[in-house]
Chain A
Amino acid sequence: MPAYPYAEQPFIRPPELDGGRTDAPVAIVGAGPIGLSMAIDLALKGVKTVVLDDNNVVSVGSRAICWAKRTLEIFDRLGVGERMLEKGVTWKVGRNFHGRDEVYSFDLLPEAGHKYPAFINLQQYYVEEYLLERAREFPDLIDVRFLNKVTGHEDGGDGVRLSVETPEGTYTLDARYMLACDGANSPTRTRMGLDFSGQTFEERFLICDIEMKGSPFGDHDTPERWFWFDPPFHPGKSALLHKQPDDIYRIDLQLDAGADPEAEVAPDRVVPRLRAIVGDKPFRIDWLSVYRFRCMMLDRFVHGHVIFVGDSAHVVSPFGARGGNGGIQDVDNLGWKLAAVLKGEAPESLIDSYDEERRHGAEENILNSSRATNFMTPKTPAEALFRAETLRLAHDQPFARELINSGRLSRPCSLAGFPLQTPGGGPVVPGTAMPDAPLGGDWLISLVQGDFTLVGFGNVRLPAVPGIRRIGVDQRGDYPCHGDAEGFALGRYGMGLAYLFRPDGHVAAVFDAPTAAQVGAARDRALGRIPAMQEAV
C-alpha cells in the first residue's frame, strides 16, 4: 500500500457529448507532468487548451524523482517551483563507491547565489498533484478531462480532429494543434506508425521505494546520491540510493540480463537485498517495479499539426535524470513559440525551431545516458576490462575518478549556434539558459522569464522597444532597476552589457551599446520572422 493518498479525479461530462464545442486551439493528450506543464505554460500566455487523459489518478508510483535546477527554474515560471522546493528533498552531493570504498564524490552546486539547488528529489505524484492544482487556477483557459481517452486523430492540414472515448459516450474534438504528451509508450506515435529507433539495454533493474525512519547515509544526515559499483551487498552489480520526502528512500538494483521480473519482486527475494543496504532498521516497501530501458527518439518531433513533447518524442535510461527534466525543457521551448504562432506574432515555421532545438537537447541526453549505461553495464570482455581498471585506478588516481560514470546529471541544454539566436559574445553566450542571481529580495530568473526581456547589467543604456520588457541591474533608468549588492549578477553576466532573453530564459542576443533597431531585430529573429522579411525584400 503506497503512503501517498491517491485521490480519484472526477469525470466531468464534456460539452461535446451534448452538442457543445470548445474553442480551444490546442488539444493536449496526456495529463502527466509534461501535458500539465504545457497547459499551464500556454495558459500563462492566454492560450486555451483541453487536456485529455485516459486515467483519473496522478502517477502511480514515484517514477521520476530527481528534478534538476533548470527544471525548477521553469517550474518557478509556471508558478509551482517554490512549492516543489519546499516539499522536495534538496541534495547536491553524489558519492560513488567501488566495493566498500568511496572512490569519487561530486558537489553539483558549489557556488551560492541561486534561487534553486542543483537537484531536489520529489515523487512524480507530488509533481503532478501540484501541477494539477496550478492548472485548476485557470478555469477559463485549461479544461482537464479525466477518463477521456483519445482513440484516433486525423490531421486535416489546417488542424487535427481527435476521436475521444469516455464512460458516457464518444465525441470528436477539433483543435489547431495536438500535443502528444502521452509518454514513453505514446499511443499517438504508435497510431502514426512513426519509427522510434535507438538502443535497448538488456539488463533489468529493480526499482524500490521503502519508507524508513533514520538516515541510511552513514554518519551524514544530509541527503545525498549514493551509487555503488560491485557493492559487498550486491556483488558484481550496481546499486543506487536516493532520499525522497516523507521518509521514503529510492533504491535501484541492477539485475541479471535474463532476470524474471515476477520472481525479482517476490518479498523473499527483495527483502534480504534491502536489508543488506539499510541494515537492521525497520522499513516498509512502498512501491516496487522491474524495468528495462531504452534510449530512443523520433526523427522529427513535429508532424504537421501533431507535436510530440517529452517521453513520447524521446526516452533515455534513468541514470542522469534526463527523462522528466528533458521533457520539461521541451515544454519550456515550445510554449512561447506555439503561443506566438497562435496569436499571429510569429510565422508557423517557428514551430520547426522547436523540432531543431529540442532534437539537439534529446540527442545530448541520449548520448550522455547511453554512455552512463554502457559504463554501468559492460557488454563485452573489453568493456568490462576498461571499467574494472578505471575503478581500480580511481581508488587513488584522481584522473580516473572523472572517468567513472554513474550518470552525468542533467544540465541545462545550450542552444548556442541555432538560427534564432543572434551571434555574439559575452560571459553568457547566446543560446545559454540564463544563470540565476539574487537581486535585492528577488531573483533574476523570476524577474526575467516569461516575456522577451532586455536586461542591462551595469553601465549600459536600454532602448525602449515595444513589446520588450526592460530591467536594469546596478544602474538607474526609467524602467524597473535592481541593486546587485553581492555582485553575483554582474559577476556572471559581465559589466556594461545588455542581454535580450527569450521568454524561456535562453539568451537571444548580447549587446554592449544596443539600439532599438538592433534589439528589435534580435527579437524578430528569435520569433523566426527574419526569413519572412528576407522573402519580402
Chain B
Amino acid sequence: MGARRLYESGLGGSGDEIYAALLEAHKGLSEAESEALNARLVLLLANRIGNAHEVLELIETARSYTG
C-alpha cells in the first residue's frame, strides 16, 4: 500500500462546477463506457500534470483508500 498524502483544495472555488461536470459526462453511459471515459480522463490528467513524481504520489494516495 502506497503512502497517503493529504491535499489542500486546489479547486479555487470551482469544486461544485467540476464535480457536476464529471457527473454530467457520465450521463447515459453504460458501465463499460463510463470506465473507458474515466481511463481516458486519467490519461489526459496525468499528461496535463506531466511530472512523474507528482502523478505517482496521486496514484499512491488514491490507492491507499482501497480495501
Binding site for B on A (CB under 8 A): 385-386, 388-390, 392-393, 397, 399-400, 403
A399-B48 Cα distance, complex, nearest whole Å: 10
Task: Let me know if A386 and B43 touch, CB within 8 A.
Answer: yes
Task: Let me know if B36 and A389 touch, CB within 8 A.
Answer: yes
User: Binding site of B, secondary structure by majority: helix, strand, loop or mixed?
Assistant: helix
| B40 located at the interface, meaning its Cβ lies under 8 Å from any Cβ of chain A in the complex | yes
Residues of chain B with a CB closer than 8 A to A392's CB: 36, 40
| B47 located at the interface, meaning its Cβ lies under 8 Å from any Cβ of chain A in the complex | yes
| B21 located at the interface, meaning its Cβ lies under 8 Å from any Cβ of chain A in the complex | no
Task: Let me know if B43 and A385 touch, CB within 8 A.
Answer: no
Residues of chain A with a CB closer than 8 A to B35's CB: 385
Residues of chain A with a CB closer than 8 A to B39's CB: 385-386, 388-389
A386-B35 Cα distance, complex, nearest whole Å: 10
Within 8 A of A (CB), among B1-43: 35-36, 39-40, 43
A77-B43 Cα distance, complex, nearest whole Å: 45
Q: Which 5 A-B pairs have the closest CB atoms?
A: A389-B39, A399-B47, A389-B40, A385-B39, A386-B39
A385-B44 Cα distance, complex, nearest whole Å: 15
How close is B38's CB to chain A, nearest CB, in angstroms? Answer: 9
How close is B40's CB to chain A, nearest CB, in angstroms? Answer: 5
Task: Let me know if A390 and B43 touch, CB within 8 A.
Answer: yes
A347-B47 Cα distance, complex, nearest whole Å: 49
A-B pair count, CB < 8 Å, reads 22
Residues of chain B with a CB closer than 8 A to A390's CB: 43
A392-B47 Cα distance, complex, nearest whole Å: 15
A58-B37 Cα distance, complex, nearest whole Å: 52
How close is A62's CB to chain B, nearest CB, in angstroms? Answer: 37
How close is B46's CB to chain A, nearest CB, in angstroms? Answer: 9
Interface size on B, residues (CB 8 A): 7
A171-B34 Cα distance, complex, nearest whole Å: 70
How close is A403's CB to chain B, nearest CB, in angstroms? Answer: 7
Residues of chain B with a CB closer than 8 A to A386's CB: 39, 43
List 6 extra interface pairs beyond A390-B43, A393-B40, A403-B43, CB under 8 A: A385-B35, A389-B36, A389-B40, A389-B43, A397-B44, A399-B47
A388 to chain B: closest residue by CB? B36
How close is B59's CB to chain A, nearest CB, in angstroms? Answer: 12
A-B contact pairs, 11 of them (CB 8 A): A385-B36, A385-B39, A386-B39, A388-B36, A389-B39, A389-B40, A392-B36, A392-B40, A393-B40, A400-B43, A403-B43
A183-B36 Cα distance, complex, nearest whole Å: 43
B47 to chain A: closest residue by CB? A399
Residues of chain A with a CB closer than 8 A to B40's CB: 389, 392-393
How close is B45's CB to chain A, nearest CB, in angstroms? Answer: 11
How close is A86's CB to chain B, nearest CB, in angstroms? Answer: 42
A390 to chain B: closest residue by CB? B43
How close is B29's CB to chain A, nearest CB, in angstroms? Answer: 14
A390-B42 Cα distance, complex, nearest whole Å: 10
Residues of chain B with a CB closer than 8 A to A403's CB: 43
A393-B42 Cα distance, complex, nearest whole Å: 12
How close is A408's CB to chain B, nearest CB, in angstroms? Answer: 16
A320-B63 Cα distance, complex, nearest whole Å: 31
A392 to chain B: closest residue by CB? B40
Residues of chain A with a CB closer than 8 A to B44's CB: 393, 397
A214-B36 Cα distance, complex, nearest whole Å: 41
Residues of chain B with a CB closer than 8 A to A388's CB: 36, 39
How close is A463's CB to chain B, nearest CB, in angstroms? Answer: 43
How close is A367's CB to chain B, nearest CB, in angstroms? Answer: 14
A400-B44 Cα distance, complex, nearest whole Å: 8
A399 to chain B: closest residue by CB? B47
Residues of chain B with a CB closer than 8 A to A397's CB: 44
How close is A334's CB to chain B, nearest CB, in angstroms? Answer: 33
B40 to chain A: closest residue by CB? A389
How close is A252's CB to chain B, nearest CB, in angstroms? Answer: 27
Task: Let me know if A393 and B36 touch, CB within 8 A.
Answer: no
A397-B43 Cα distance, complex, nearest whole Å: 11
B35 to chain A: closest residue by CB? A385
A390-B35 Cα distance, complex, nearest whole Å: 13
A399-B55 Cα distance, complex, nearest whole Å: 15
A386-B39 Cα distance, complex, nearest whole Å: 6
A385-B36 Cα distance, complex, nearest whole Å: 7
Q: Please encode chain B, from 46 to 60, with 1 for each CB lying within 8 Å of some chain A CB and 0 for all others.
A: 010000000000000
How close is B50's CB to chain A, nearest CB, in angstroms? Answer: 9
A390-B46 Cα distance, complex, nearest whole Å: 12
How close is A374's CB to chain B, nearest CB, in angstroms? Answer: 16
A460-B12 Cα distance, complex, nearest whole Å: 57
Residues of chain A with a CB closer than 8 A to B47's CB: 399-400
A381 to chain B: closest residue by CB? B35
Residues of chain B with a CB closer than 8 A to A389's CB: 36, 39-40, 43
A390-B47 Cα distance, complex, nearest whole Å: 12
How close is A104's CB to chain B, nearest CB, in angstroms? Answer: 15
How close is A372's CB to chain B, nearest CB, in angstroms? Answer: 18
B41 to chain A: closest residue by CB? A389
B39 to chain A: closest residue by CB? A389
How close is B9's CB to chain A, nearest CB, in angstroms? Answer: 27
How close is B47's CB to chain A, nearest CB, in angstroms? Answer: 4
How close is A249's CB to chain B, nearest CB, in angstroms? Answer: 34
A2-B47 Cα distance, complex, nearest whole Å: 48
B42 to chain A: closest residue by CB? A386
A403 to chain B: closest residue by CB? B43
Residues of chain B with a CB closer than 8 A to A385's CB: 35-36, 39
A397-B46 Cα distance, complex, nearest whole Å: 14
